[in-house]
């Protein structure tokens, strides 16, 4: 999920109830819709050499609902349409990325077939009502007496731990990997919460070894203890999974435990990212960071980078900086930040990834690798040739 500047998303857990299986059935059916239209697009392309797009597919859906796919009709129409629109956008994104010459940005793939259990979310623009911690969804059902479809209103209650602000644009129902259902309320709240200026700037280095973040002030920010403990548990569980016989009862149990723990880690980390971003915004007017080169980092570090999830943190930081009127700058991708000595500017060409401390051969300064980089990042951003975000 992205954090855009003109929308806010509020997340609530839907209380467990046997009724929730309706939501599960709906998502399963939506997976069918997704796969059906994905196949259709591919077939259309083979025959006509171009893609059909949503404006051809949506009228086609109308026909399907009358003929061969009548069993989809119980789901609100705009929720079915949203699946087609999502596919449309995914293809668009793929074409845009192709046009750019395959060189810039993250690799974008074509939309893929989805297994039912992997189909996670449904969007509602109409056909729902929110009130007093409950959500009412208008499904349709065949009525044998009147021989017609009639509305069947189903209520789901959710844990409304806080109120949303702004007008609700749409809602989403999500199913996570452990079978919990969530309600996302998306509003158009764009109110800024301006924090008084502090006159301070900071350079931030993302680290893999000593600290998660290192500031040019010398401050090192580590993973919080509960998250560290969960990450350790995650490693242990992964190891124990690999010792089990694939497909056995114990193996399945470990898979389930792993999914549950992975969720917990993701939540803990997201909470911490929000706190961290808030803290930086409170203390600094200008925040300078390096440019993340995700593909490069993945090559260099393997899986670890996705675990550390700097990408998510930067997305949250962008949103927070917008909200609190802070300036976020990224130092140019080709600006060297590790090797130059921050005191005299001499490049330490022999610096390797394992050198955590070094002494400048020119001026004799003793450097902590990450602090030195954070100082260079801030300096790089304050100079003229910066990419402003
Ligand atoms: Zn030096």
Alpha helix ranges (H) inside the chain:
21-48, 54-66, 77-99, 225-243, 249-283, 294-301, 304-308, 310-323, 369-382
Residue 252 lies in a domain: no
CA 367 to ligand 1 center in whole angstroms: 9
CA 192 to ligand 1 center in whole angstroms: 43
Question: From residue 335, how far is each of 258, 296, 360, 376, 378 by CA, in Å?
Answer: 40, 15, 19, 9, 11
Is residue 277 located within the same domain as residue 140?
Answer: no
End-of-domain residue from the set 187, 217, 250: 187
CA 348 to ligand 1 center in whole angstroms: 9
CA 176 to ligand 1 center in whole angstroms: 51
Question: Quick one: pLDDT at residue 101?
Answer: 67
CA 338 to ligand 1 center in whole angstroms: 12
Question: Quick one: pLDDT at residue 61?
Answer: 95
Identify which of 21, 51, 25 has the alpha carbon closest to the alpha carbon of residue 38. 51
Is residue 140 located within the same domain as residue 85?
Answer: yes
Is residue 322 located within the same domain as residue 345?
Answer: yes
CA 340 to ligand 1 center in whole angstroms: 8
The answer to whether the Cα torsion of 9, 11, 17, 21 is positive or negative is positive
Is residue 303 located within the same domain as residue 268?
Answer: yes
> d(Cα 377, Cα 111) in Å, to the nearest integer?
37
What pTM was estimated for this model as a whole?
0.64
Residue 349 lies in a domain: yes
Query: Helix, strand, or coil here: 184?
Result: strand
CA 345 to ligand 1 center in whole angstroms: 6
CA 363 to ligand 1 center in whole angstroms: 4
Tokens of 319: 């949103």
Residue 3 lies in a domain: no
CA 384 to ligand 1 center in whole angstroms: 23
End-of-domain residue from the set 155, 187, 219: 187
Question: Quick one: pLDDT at residue 213?
Answer: 94
Is residue 131 located within the same domain as residue 222?
Answer: no
Residue 240 lies in a domain: no
Question: Quick one: pLDDT at residue 146?
Answer: 86
CA 347 to ligand 1 center in whole angstroms: 8
Which value, to the nearest 10 degrees, does the dihedral of the CA atoms of residues 195, 200, 206, 209 take? -120
Residue 44 lies in a domain: yes
Question: Quick one: pLDDT at residue 107?
Answer: 75
Residue 357 lies in a domain: yes
CA 228 to ligand 1 center in whole angstroms: 35
Is residue 85 located within the same domain as residue 205?
Answer: no
Is residue 354 located within the same domain as residue 313?
Answer: yes
CA 359 to ligand 1 center in whole angstroms: 8
Question: Quick one: pLDDT at residue 126?
Answer: 87
Is residue 149 located within the same domain as residue 212?
Answer: no
Is residue 133 located within the same domain as residue 230?
Answer: no
Is residue 92 located within the same domain as residue 167?
Answer: yes
Is residue 228 located within the same domain as residue 337?
Answer: yes
> d(Cα 112, Cα 94) in Å, to the nearest integer?
12
Question: Quick one: pLDDT at residue 38?
Answer: 95
Residue 227 lies in a domain: yes
End-of-domain residue from the set 187, 222, 251: 187
> d(Cα 78, Cα 138) in Å, to the nearest integer?
12
Provide the 10 A C-beta neighbour count for residue 248.
Answer: 10
- Domain containing 219: what range? 201-234+264-388
> d(Cα 49, Cα 61) in Å, to the nearest integer?
21
Residue 322 C-alpha from the chain's centroid: 18
User: Which residues, including other chains, have CB under 8 Å from residue 255's CB and lie 6 or more apart?
Assistant: 241
H/E element, 136: strand 134-143
Question: Quick one: pLDDT at residue 68?
Answer: 93
Residue 259 lies in a domain: no
Give the mean pLDDT per block of 10 residues along the chain (389 residues). 68 94 95 96 88 90 92 94 94 83 69 90 92 92 86 93 88 91 90 87 88 94 91 91 92 91 90 95 95 66 58 90 91 86 92 90 94 94 61
Is residue 379 located within the same domain as residue 272?
Answer: yes
The DSSP bridge partners found for residue 109 are: none
CA 219 to ligand 1 center in whole angstroms: 21
CA 204 to ligand 1 center in whole angstroms: 20
CA 324 to ligand 1 center in whole angstroms: 37
Walk across the sheet containing 134-143 and list its strands: 128-131, 134-143, 148-157
Question: Quick one: pLDDT at residue 99?
Answer: 78
Total domains present in the chain: 2
CA 339 to ligand 1 center in whole angstroms: 10
């Amino acid at each position: 999920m992205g954090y855009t500047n003109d929308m806010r998303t509020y997340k609530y857990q839907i209380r467990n109830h046997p009724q929730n299986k309706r939501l599960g059935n709906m998502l399963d059916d939506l997976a069918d819709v997704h796969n059906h239209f994905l196949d259709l697009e591919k077939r259309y392309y083979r025959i006509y050499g171009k893609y059909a797009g949503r404006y051809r597919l949506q009228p086609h859906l109308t026909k399907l609902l009358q003929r061969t796919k009548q069993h989809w009709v119980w789901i609100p129409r705009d929720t079915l349409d949203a699946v087609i629109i999502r596919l449309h956008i995914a293809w668009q994104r793929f074409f845009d990325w192709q046009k750019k010459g395959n060189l810039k940005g993250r690799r974008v793939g074509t939309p893929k077939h989805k297994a039912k259990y992997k189909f996670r979310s449904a969007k509602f623009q109409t056909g729902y009502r929110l009130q007093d911690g409950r959500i009412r969804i208008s499904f349709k059902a065949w009525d044998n007496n009147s021989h017609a479809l009639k509305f069947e209103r189903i209520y789901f209650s959710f844990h409304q731990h806080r109120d949303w602000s702004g007008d609700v644009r749409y809602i989403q129902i999500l199913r996570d990997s452990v079978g919990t259902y969530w309600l996302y309320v998306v509003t158009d709240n764009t109110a800024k919460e301006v924090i008084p200026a502090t006159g301070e700037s900071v350079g931030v280095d993302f680290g893999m070894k000593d600290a998660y973040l290192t500031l040019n002030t010398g401050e090192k920010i580590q993973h919080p203890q509960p998250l560290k403990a969960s990450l350790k548990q995650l490693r242990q569980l992964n190891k124990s999974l690999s010792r089990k016989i694939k497909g056995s009862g114990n193996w399945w149990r470990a898979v389930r435990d792993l999914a549950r723990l992975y969720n917990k880690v993701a939540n803990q980390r997201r909470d911490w990212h929000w706190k961290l971003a808030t803290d930086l915004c409170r203390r600094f007017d200008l925040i300078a960071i390096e440019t993340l080169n995700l593909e490069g980092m993945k090559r260099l570090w393997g899986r670890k980078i996705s675990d550390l999830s700097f990408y998510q943190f930067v997305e949250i930081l962008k949103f927070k900086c917008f909200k609190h009127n802070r300036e976020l700058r990224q130092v140019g991708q080709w600006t060297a930040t590790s090797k130059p000595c921050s005191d005299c500017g001499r490049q330490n060409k022999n610096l390797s990834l394992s050198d955590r401390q070094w002494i400048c051969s020119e001026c004799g300064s003793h450097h902590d690798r990450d602090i030195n980089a954070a100082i260079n990042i801030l300096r790089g951003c304050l100079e003229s040739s910066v990419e402003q975000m």
